[in-house]
Amino acid sequence: MDGKIALEEHMAVPETLDDSLQIVGTAPGWELLRDRLLDIGEMRLEQMDKHGIEMTLVSLNAPAVQAIVDRQEAAEISTRANDHLAEQVAKNPDRFRGFAALPMQDPELAAKELARCVNDLGFVGALVNGFTQRDVSDSVVYYDIPEYRSFWATVAELDVPFYLHPRAQIKERDFATSGHPWLETAVWGFARETSIHALRLCGSGLFDEYPGLKVVLGHLGERIPYDLWRIDARMTVTGAEYKGARPIGQIFREHFHITTSGNFSDTTLRCCLDEMGVDHLMFSVDYPFEQTDEAAIWYDDTPILDDEQRRQIGRDNANKLFKLGLD
């Protein structure tokens, strides 16, 4: 299928490049991965052209800003990364758009930077790498707590999606994976951490206060869609402190959109389609951590989708959600 839009596609600036090295290690291929992260041009366009991707929404790598404990430094790196991304997008505005990196260490600074990126730089939303650290290295701050309501008010006012992207839990706090470092990141830890964060948002009353909020999750929903029935069923027994006015399943299906990034499975896609509906799914790759050819060939050939669904998920939903204005 030609004309696809991909939207969990990453870049780095020199200040954040080592974050990706720490995740993937010095395995063979790091040099190519590094070059692809730093490139928002020829290398990326070559892959897009070869595999039918018309537009890519580009975002900063992980955890990047969210791992900077100093609030002012986090704000400075965010601004620097966003300005660099805007400069690169301006060279190919028909092929690239930008997601804002945000200094979530300070809700007011984050809101201000998001407004600047949307209103002045033309970005289509924000991508934030999970919880934030601030002040001390082993801190973990989630965005369901009351002090972030002013930030969410800005997101709602700007009417842009918020992409909640994974990051690994702080090692000092991650007792469950002790002795099994292979569990910490993409194998399991990313989905575990991101799904808990997303469910915290659902359970905080946030979507009742701001009914227009739209949150995006990658990797076919970070495993949440496959447990929605059980979540709602057990909430009838153990949900005494739940603050939402609607069941979690209803909130998730109405406010969350999920992408195929890094999860190219027919059976998983079928479950997501059944649980979420075709309107809430979108194509993505997770470039350069995943291979564009593997993502695109699987998506173009999967028998789970008919031609109409393939176009809607591959292009139309993202075009509408992010107001891209493509024909």
Catalytic (active-site) positions: 286
What residues form DSSP beta bridges with 247?
A: none
Size of the chain, expressed as the number of residues it contains: 327
* C-alpha neighbours within 13 Å on the C-beta side of residue 26: 0
Look at the block and give the residue holding tokens 């930008």: 98
Burial 266-301 (b: 16+ CB within 10 A, else e): eebbebbbebbebebbbbbbbbbbbebeebbeebbe
Residue 233 has phi, psi (to 5 degrees) of: -65, -45
Q: Which is nearest to 36 in space by CA: 286, 269, 235, 287?
A: 287
CA-based angle 39:30:58, to the nearest 5?
30
Cα 6 to Cα 58: distance, rounded to the nearest angstrom? 9
Order of strands, sheet of 126-128, starting from the edge strand that comes earlier in the sequence = 126-128, 162-164, 215-217, 256-259, 281-282
